[in-house]
Amino acid sequence: MGAICNSATDNYASAGIIGLNVALVLAERGLGSRVMVIAEHLPGDTSIKYTSPWAGCNFSAISGSDANALRWDRLGYAQLTRLESLEGEKSYIKRTPSTEFWDEDVPHDKIRAMSEYLEDFRILPSGELPKGVKFAVSFTTVTLNAPKYLEYLHRRLRDQHGVHFVRQRLSDIYAAFSDNNTRIVFNCSGNEAKTLGGVEDEKCYPTRGQVVLARAPGMRRNVMRHGKDYVTYIIPRPGSNGNVILGGYLQKGNGDGSTYSYETESILDRTKKLALELSENEPEILAVVAGLRPSREGGTRIQREHVIVHGLERSLVHNYGAGGTGFQAGYGMAIDAVQSVDDILSTLKSDKLRLKL
């Protein structure tokens, strides 16, 4: 799950990047000690049922072009660059030079919106484009060491904001209200929203991606190539002493957690063509993994529902279906999810106020 808000505690959610962002936004409002994060998998764990540690992970133009996606990207970029400036290496986020190439289907509206806020944004002149590329941009992106960033957020929420973390598998979403003081539950259950009792959202499906973790210390920039039926990317991993994530795949509806050698070969072949740093110095393969992006027909669901549990009126806020963008969009999504219960949250005393009493 994302973040649950109880009333001794007041809110509840789960421990993927979506739930941690909800907990963060609540903590920034001074409600940290009222938040309980309940999850089967916590930062530091690995499981095919826990997508977040498998993310590449960067900010890119891969997200949608609808108004929400554009807004969440903007909020996410501002939050991640701010955190990098404040916390530096401790956060496992790094400002990194990035180039993105498109073979066709250039998302011009999205790129126009991104050009307004991305640092060092530039459209590459046609003379600089590689063969087969129609359009390209360069800018300063943020790259994240996904598993370490999750652990950083976990520590920060627990130690600085007093957020409670509980490892527990919930039989259904209503089990999150088992404490009668729990007034709000944020359902941030990722792929499990399809089967979780009380949610059972038929629109959810996984989008599989296989990636290669490799050692390539000479590779210090982010590169992506968006093709008609493929995506290739190279993402240096901050705080890893020269490791990179090489990808990838976007296999809609594929929930297979296995990895395949022919996919590894294709990833190595494609990424070496994209960067001389890799073709000139053979990357050392450290691991090959597959992850399942929690996707949803119609896009992300952020929606407040009124529910009656044990005869009490309660709020259930759904926040899932981030697909391939949970790290870059998660903070903006959390702001929307939290705002949807502003009427309840504004009646709660913040930690600051409670300390004064």
Ligand X SMILES: Cc1cc2nc3c(=O)[nH]c(=O)nc-3n(C[C@H](O)[C@H](O)[C@H](O)COP(=O)(O)OP(=O)(O)OC[C@H]3O[C@@H](n4cnc5c(N)ncnc54)[C@H](O)[C@@H]3O)c2cc1C
By CB under 6 A, name the binding residues for ligand X.
1, 14-19, 39-41, 50-52, 54-58, 169-170, 188-192, 196, 209, 211, 248, 291-294, 320, 322-328
* Residue 312 CA: distances (Å) to CA of 4, 178, 318, 342: 16, 11, 19, 19
Minimum distance from residue 226 beta carbon to ligand X (Å): 13
Cβ(154)–Cβ(128) below 8 Å: no
Cβ nearer to ligand X, comparing 39 with 341: 39
Between 46 and 126, whose beta carbon lies closer to ligand X?
46
Report helix angle 67-87 to 326-339, nearest 10.
110
Tell me the residue nearest to ligand X as measured from the CB: 16
Contact (CB, 8 A) for 105 and 227:
no
> Which residue, 83 or 348, has its beta carbon nearer to ligand X?
83
**Residue whose entry in the numeric block shows the structure tokens 């088992």:** 178
When the beta carbons of 6 and 189 are compared against ligand X, the nearer one is 189
Least separation in angstroms between CB 40 and ligand X: 4
Minimum CB distance to ligand X, residue 172 (Å): 8
User: Rounded CA gap, 272 and 283, in Å?
Assistant: 9
Closest separation in Å from C-beta 120 to ligand X? 19
Query: Residue 320's closest CA among 66, 113, 105, 14?
Result: 14
Cβ(281)–Cβ(203) below 8 Å:
no
Residue 28 or 40: which CB sits closer to ligand X?
A: 40
User: Is the peptide bond between 321 and the residue preceding it cis, with omega within 30 degrees of 0?
Assistant: no
What gap in Å lies between CA 279 and CA 221, rounded to an integer?
A: 15
CB of 191 to ligand X, least distance (A): 6
Q: For residue 222, what are its two tokens?
A: 């982010």
CB of 303 to ligand X, least distance (A): 15
Of the candidates 230, 215, 176, 223, the residue with the CA atom closest to the CA atom of residue 198: 176
DSSP-assigned letter for residue 58: B
Looking at beta carbons only, is 79 or 348 nearer to ligand X?
A: 79
Strand order across the 312-320 sheet: 164-167, 35-39, 11-13, 3-5, 184-187, 312-320, 301-309
Nearer to ligand X among residue 45 and residue 305 (C-beta): 45
Report which residue type is found at 355: L
Nearest distance from residue 353's CB to ligand X, in Å? 30
